[in-house]
Structure 1
Amino acid sequence: MARIGYARVSTLDQDLELQVTKLTAEGCSIIRSEKASGSKREGRAELATIIDFLRPNDELVVTRLDRLGRDTRDVLNVIHECEQRGAFFTVLDPHVSTRGEMGHLVLTVLGMVAQMERRFIKERQREGIERAKSKGIYQGGKRRVSRARVLELAAAKVPVSQIADKLSCSRMQVYRILGEPQG
Structure 2
Amino acid sequence: MSRIGYARVSTIDQDLDTQIAKLKAEGCGIIRSEKVSGASRFGRAELATIIDFLRPGDELVVTRLDRLGRDTRDVLNLIHECEQREAFVTVLDPHVSTRGDMGHIVLTVLGMVAQMERRFIKERQREGIERAKSQGAYQGGKARIDHQRVLELIRAEMGVSDIAGIMKCSRMQVYRILRGSLEGTV
TM-score (norm 1): 0.82
Correspondence list, 1:84-95, <5 A: 84-95=84-95
1:168 is matched with which residue? none
2:50 is matched with which residue? 50
CA distance in 2, matches of 1:150, 1:18: 38
1:30 is matched with which residue? 30
1:77 is matched with which residue? 77
Runs of 4 or more, structure 1, over 3 Å off, are 143-155, 157-164
2:7 is matched with which residue? 7
Instruction: Establish whether residue 176 from structure 1 lines up as the match of residue 149 from structure 2.
Output: no
Deviation of 1:163 after TM superposition, in Å, equals 5.2
Q: Is the 8 A contact 1:151 1:178 kept in 2?
A: no
1:131 is matched with which residue? 131
Give the partner amino acid of 2:29: S
Deviation of 1:87 after TM superposition, in Å, equals 0.6
| Aligned alpha-carbon RMSD (Å) | 2.5
Equivalenced residues, count? 175
CA distance in 1, matches of 2:116, 2:88: 25
Deviation of 1:144 after TM superposition, in Å, equals 4.9
Q: Is the 8 A contact 2:150 2:163 kept in 1?
A: no
> 1:117-148 deviations in whole A, cap 9, x for unaligned?
00001011111111222233222123355555
> 1:82-123 deviations in whole A, cap 9, x for unaligned?
111111000011111111231011101110000000000101
CA distance in 2, matches of 1:144, 1:159: 15
CA distance in 2, matches of 1:160, 1:18: 35
The verdict on how the C-alpha distance between 1:150 and 1:23 changes in structure 2, with shifts beyond 3 A counting, is farther
- SS in structure 2 of the partner of residue 22 of structure 1: helix
- SS in structure 2 of the partner of residue 6 of structure 1: strand
CA distance in 1, matches of 2:172, 2:16: 26
- SS in structure 1 of the partner of residue 101 of structure 2: coil
Q: Is the 8 A contact 1:90 1:96 kept in 2?
A: yes
TM-score (norm 2): 0.81
CA distance in 2, matches of 1:110, 1:49: 24
1:63 is matched with which residue? 63
Deviation of 1:10 after TM superposition, in Å, equals 1.0
Deviation of 1:177 after TM superposition, in Å, equals 5.8
